[in-house]
Every structure is written in C-alpha cells, then in structure tokens.
Amino acid sequence: MTFVWQSPVEYVLSIVMFAVIPSLCGAADGHISVQVVNQKGDVTPIRAWVEVNGRQLFQPTLPDTATPYARDRSFSCDGHFTMTLPAGRAVVHVERGKEFVPLDIDVEIVSGETLEKQIRIDRWIDMPREGWYSADLHVHLGHDDPRILKQLALADDVHLIPSFTYWLRGRGETWEMQWPGDEFNQPLLIDDHHIITRNNIEIERIDGNAAPGAAIGATFLFNLNQPVTAMRYGEHFPTDAELCRVARRHSPRAVFDSDKPSWAESVIGVALGMLDTIQVCHNHYHRTTTLPGGWGMIGPLASGETNAAAGDGLFHRTNSLYYRFLNCGFRLGVSGGSAIGVMSLPTGYNRVYAHVEGKVTADKLWAAISDGRTFATSGPMLTLTANNETVGGTIDLRSNQSQVVSIRTTVRAIERLESLQIIHDGRIVASQELLQKAPDPIMDSELTFTLTPKRSGWIAARALFRAPDGLLRQAHTSPIYVSIDEKPAASGDDARYMLRWVDRLAAIAKSHPDHFPDTETQQATLAIYAEASARYEQIIEQAKIEPRQQ
C-alpha cells in the first residue's frame, strides 16, 4: 500500500469512502481495466479519476503502485489501472499535465463483467521541442520515496520536481545540518527530460490566526550543497533573509524563491538580494476555487488593497506587489508551484517554464530559473520578445538615440482566455480581448506594441482566464528589462510603499518581545529590517535624480 500523507479529517473520510463504496458497489459491481497510451502507442503515466453519480472516485483496485491523493480526489499511475464500480454510466477522466489534452470518456459498466478500455492521450503542444521545460517549485508529496516522485514527474509531465527534504517551521523540529545521505545532493534522472532533486528546503513560518505582517511567511531554498540551519530558531527568528545569506555562503548556486509576494518578510528578502524569484502562480490557485489570503500576509498598505480572494483581491494583490518590486529596480523572475501533499492540487497545476539551450540538466534549469528566462502558468503557454531580447534579457538604450522598443507576445491555450496583455512598469499598455476566440481545440493569438520608454524599467506579458469559480488565473512572463544610460529603475512611490511595509514589521517586532527568547535575537531581527529600510531609502534618493514620467 502506497503511503499518502493525509490530515486527520481526510483520514476519516478515506475510511468512510472504503466503507461506503463497497456497500454501493455490491452485487451490482462491474469492473473497468484501463490502459492509456500516447500517440506512438506506448503506455504512458497519467493522472485519473472516475466519476460515478457525481462522486469522484480515486482509489483504484490495481496496481498497488498507483498513488491516490485524497486532497485532489485523483490518483497517479504508470499508465494502467483497474477499478471496481457500480453498474451503469461512469466517466473516466485522464490527464497528463499542461501539454496533453485532458479527456473525459463515457463508459457503461456491466454487472459482473470487466470492461477493458484503451485510451489514447494526445499532445496539443510540445514545449521541450522549443527548449522550454517545466518545474513545480512546491512539492511535498513523496519527499521520502523516489518511486512516487518519479511517477508524479511522468504522470503530471513536470520536467523538474525539486522535492523538499526538510520542511522547517520553527516549532520544535530539528534543523538538520546534513542531508539524510550523500545521494540527496545528486539529481535523479528519469529520462532525457524529467529530473528529480531533493537538496531543497522550505522554511515556512505562518499562522492562520496571525494579524497582517505578524508571521514571516514561506521561502523556498533550492539546489543547496547542504541544509541551512541555525543554532537558535523559532517562529519569528532568524529572518528568512539571514537564513538565505547563510545558505548562499555554502551553496553559491542555490535559488531562493518566495511562495508569495505578500508574505510579510518578502520585502526584506527582496531588498537584501536574497530572493531570485517570486511565485505569481502559487498554491492558492486551485482547480475550481481560490483559497483566501491571510495567515499573516502583509497589508493592506494602500487604498483598495485586499489579501482576500473575493473579487480577485488576492490575484491583484499578488501581481501588484510583484510589479512594485520590479519598479524599485529589483530583478525578480516569476515562478509557480502547487504544494501537492498539502493543497488540493496535482503536481504542476501551477508551474514555471524555463528556457534551456541544448540537453537539459538540473544545473541548466536552475540557472535559467535564477536568470528569469521563464514564464509561470496555470494553463496557457506564453512568449515575449522585445527588439532582440527575450525574457530575462536587457535592452540597452541611450537617451540621445532612438528609444523605440518593438514588443511581441504570443499565447497558445486549450482554455478559453479572457485577454492577452503587455505590461510596462506595472501598467497595461496593450491588451487584446480573447473571449470570442474559442479554442478549436487550440487557440493562439499574437499582440504587438511599440514603446518609447523615458527611463529604465521593465516589460512583461500576461494572459488571463477564469477558473470555474469565476476568479482569475494567468500565465505571466518574467520581465525583459529596459536600461537607459545604464541607470537603475527606481520608483520613489513604490519604495515608500515598501518602507511602510518594513516599518510595520519593525513595529510588530518591537511591540512583541514575546516573539523572541531574548533581547539579542529581537535586536538582530530589527537590524536586518533596518538594513532593508536603508536599501529602500537609497531607491527613493535614486528616483529623485530622474523623476518617473507617466
């Protein structure tokens, strides 16, 4: 029996399911045996479930290597499965990540008989053929079982799965100084473009009841030579930025990612150069619903802001904070993750694609992610070019020469999209409505725009669509940066916003000495905050030299 982590509530539900389903599937039982093949006729790993009378069944009888995931009510398998079902109509759902067309197959189950069914699942796009490889930067399921990780990588077609070996929450667990074994430093190669790594850590210190800004948040540390640890630690110290500094010293090729831009200490990690990427397609975006904000996320800090999911509040908050960081001059790529093992999502529902030249390796993928040669997505495939540059690149211009920038973005999707947009310095400068352009079965569109920038900044693209609950989802590129006269991008307004953010963190730390074991750790935290404040003050001074032109 494959072990799958479940909460106590899910455990009880699973026991009930095992008790109830046999009673529903009694003398009138039938069986279905499914084999899934690709376009070449080869058996291919997939994710599946079977719907019967509105119930989503996800516990196959065979094989015992299938991995049920109760939170998503689905299972992954190596390409074949058998289930016992009530006689009558059933719908077999089969999917394989973002690049294959998901299928819903109607079948009729006959009492006492086994229906043998072969299903072919086809690609609608081949991103590796174009040099793009996906990663889910938030994976908890199977961290101690390479077989499960390999199955997830293939069944959900995620090219890089960096599983978290340690999950540090400052609540009494031991912060290990070494990996469980030397093999944890080496990638596990599944085939020529699916890879697993285990030299990764999540530091997550959140609290469902915390006031805004009163919990640190969640930071991911990838590609480490050794774990990051601290002799003294808790739910409020050390800062994530300080822990990333420690990690950078022993792991210079590590990649640091923020689970969300709205976590309280994201503002610190960005200011001190301790974040490479930020998740804009994060684990609060589920298949059919959006999980609300909270848990100590910062804000609101300006009129009209909200952390809640209602009215797309969390979506706009996520993007606007990311844009504010970019406007301050920080170079941050986008990323994506799903938190399978914790959230009700399959591997790679939210993911990041990175562009790699030649044969793909773990090192190349981490370098591309760190450099921002990426786009994040919950569905569509997105490209962006400007002049001769693509995402992660820089367009160098001179104020005494032509400053025209020709921008082109393309989107391909099997979802119905709402719009395709070009973003410049946080503002939508071009938009194409796509609601009337239905996929058949694929939709593709292109948007171009000519820009004459007045100062250094950035360009990005995004494609918007709606989930079944009516709330926004997206694909979003990392920026192409625009440098004029080699001057940094600097927005005084956005830097002042960040100062208010840091001031709120400092006020919480000063007014809650109970968050720290002693004055020394409290003062060390405040010193890190002061260092971040100084960086934002510097940006404000830079912005005064050349005021931003609207």
Q: What is the CATH number of the domain that holds 49?
A: 2.60.40.2190
Q: Which two tokens stand for residue 287?
A: 């298949």
Ramachandran region, residue 265 (left: φ > 0; alpha: ψ -120 to 50; beta: rest): alpha
Q: Please check the confidence at residue 533 and state whether its pLDDT lies above 80.
A: yes
Angstrom distance (rounded) from CA 488 to CA 503: 24
Span of 21-30, 120-129, 285-294, 386-395 with lowest mean pLDDT: 21-30
Same structural domain, 56 and 112? yes
What is the predicted pLDDT for the residue at 457? 97
What is the predicted pLDDT for the residue at 304? 85
Q: What is the CATH number of the domain that holds 359?
A: 3.20.20.140
Angstrom distance (rounded) from CA 526 to CA 530: 6
The alpha carbon torsion through 479, 480, 485, 490 (nearest 10 deg) reads: -10
Angstrom distance (rounded) from CA 9 to CA 21: 18
Q: What is the CATH number of the domain that holds 435?
A: 2.60.40.10
Angstrom distance (rounded) from CA 86 to CA 70: 20
The alpha carbon torsion through 316, 320, 322, 324 (nearest 10 deg) reads: -170
Yes or no: say if 486 and 502 are a contact pair by the CB < 8 Å rule.
no
Q: What is the mean pLDDT of residues 197-220?
A: 95
Sequence-distant contacts of 37-41: CB under 8 A, at least 24 apart:
37/79, 37/118, 37/119, 37/120, 37/121, 38/120, 38/121, 38/122, 38/123, 39/120, 39/122, 39/123
Residue bearing tokens 């010293």: 249
In a domain, 459, yes or no: yes
Yes or no: say if 246 and 524 are a contact pair by the CB < 8 Å rule.
no
Task: Place 26 in a pLDDT band, splitting at 50, 70 and 90.
Answer: low
Q: Please check the confidence at residue 255 and state whether its pLDDT lies above 70.
A: yes
Angle between helices 313-327 and 492-511 (to 10 degrees): 110
Instruction: Give the largest Cα separation in the chain, rounded.
Output: 84
In a domain, 389, yes or no: yes
In a domain, 178, yes or no: yes
Same structural domain, 342 and 202? yes
Q: Which of 468, 489, 510 is the last residue of a domain?
A: 489
The alpha carbon torsion through 135, 167, 334, 326 (nearest 10 deg) reads: -170
Same structural domain, 517 and 439? no
Q: Residue 152: in which H helix or E strand, if any?
A: helix 146-155
**Between residues 132 and 27, the one the model is more confident about:** 132
Q: What is the mean pLDDT of the chain?
A: 93
Q: Which of 355, 378, 401 is the last residue of a domain?
A: 378
In a domain, 1, yes or no: no
Angstrom distance (rounded) from CA 302 to CA 305: 6
In a domain, 93, yes or no: yes
Yes or no: say if 280 and 325 are a contact pair by the CB < 8 Å rule.
no
Same structural domain, 104 and 132? no
Check the CA dihedral 343-349-355-359 and report its sign. Answer: positive
Q: What is the mean pLDDT of residues 140-158?
A: 96
The model's pLDDT over 268-318, given as tens digits with 9 standing for 90+, comes to: 999 999 999 999 999 999 999 999 889 999 988 998 888 887 889 999 999
What is the predicted pLDDT for the residue at 16? 40
State yes or no: cis peptide before 479, omega within 30 of 0.
no
The model's pLDDT over 471-524, given as tens digits with 9 standing for 90+, comes to: 999 999 999 999 999 999 999 999 999 999 999 999 999 999 999 999 999 999
State whether residue 385 is helix, strand or coil.
strand
Q: What Å distances lie between residue 484 and 146, 278, 453, CA to CA?
A: 48, 25, 8
Domain of 86? 8-120
State whether residue 310 is helix, strand or coil.
helix
Same structural domain, 470 and 526? no
Question: DSSP characters for 9-75?
Answer: HHHHHHHHHHHHHHHHSSTTEEEEEEEEE-TTS-B--EEEEEEETTEEE---SB-TT-EEETTTTEE
Same structural domain, 343 and 429? no
The model's pLDDT over 123-132, given as tens digits with 9 standing for 90+, comes to: 999 999 999 9
Number of domains making up the chain: 4
Angstrom distance (rounded) from CA 339 to CA 215: 19
Beta bridge partners of 68: 75
Task: Place 11 in a pLDDT band, splitting at 50, 70 and 90.
Answer: very low
Angstrom distance (rounded) from CA 243 to CA 263: 16
Ramachandran region, residue 387 (left: φ > 0; alpha: ψ -120 to 50; beta: rest): left
The model's pLDDT over 68-107, given as tens digits with 9 standing for 90+, comes to: 999 999 999 999 999 999 999 999 999 999 999 999 999 9
Q: Which of 326, 344, 378 is the last residue of a domain?
A: 378
Angstrom distance (rounded) from CA 237 to CA 243: 9
Angstrom distance (rounded) from CA 492 to CA 498: 10
Task: Place 548 in a pLDDT band, splitting at 50, 70 and 90.
Answer: low
Q: What is the mean pLDDT of residues 312-337?
A: 97
Same structural domain, 365 and 402? no
Percent of the chain exceeding pLDDT 70 equals 94
State whether residue 463 is helix, strand or coil.
strand
Same structural domain, 453 and 529? no
Yes or no: say if 69 and 4 are a contact pair by the CB < 8 Å rule.
yes
In a domain, 105, yes or no: yes
Angstrom distance (rounded) from CA 123 to CA 117: 20
In a domain, 12, yes or no: yes
Same structural domain, 166 and 223? yes
Same structural domain, 485 and 511? no
Q: Which two tokens stand for residue 393?
A: 């690149």
Question: DSSP characters for 484-546?
Answer: ETTPPP--HHHHHHHHHHHHHHHHHHHH-GGGSSSHHHHHHHHHHHHHHHHHHHHHHHHHHHS
In a domain, 522, yes or no: yes
Same structural domain, 91 and 135? no
> How many Cβ atoms are within 10 Å of 423's Cβ, its own excluded?
23
> How many Cβ atoms are within 10 Å of 342's Cβ, its own excluded?
18
Helices (H), 313-384: 313-327, 362-371
Same structural domain, 385 and 275? no
Q: Please check the confidence at residue 392 and state whether its pLDDT lies above 70.
A: yes
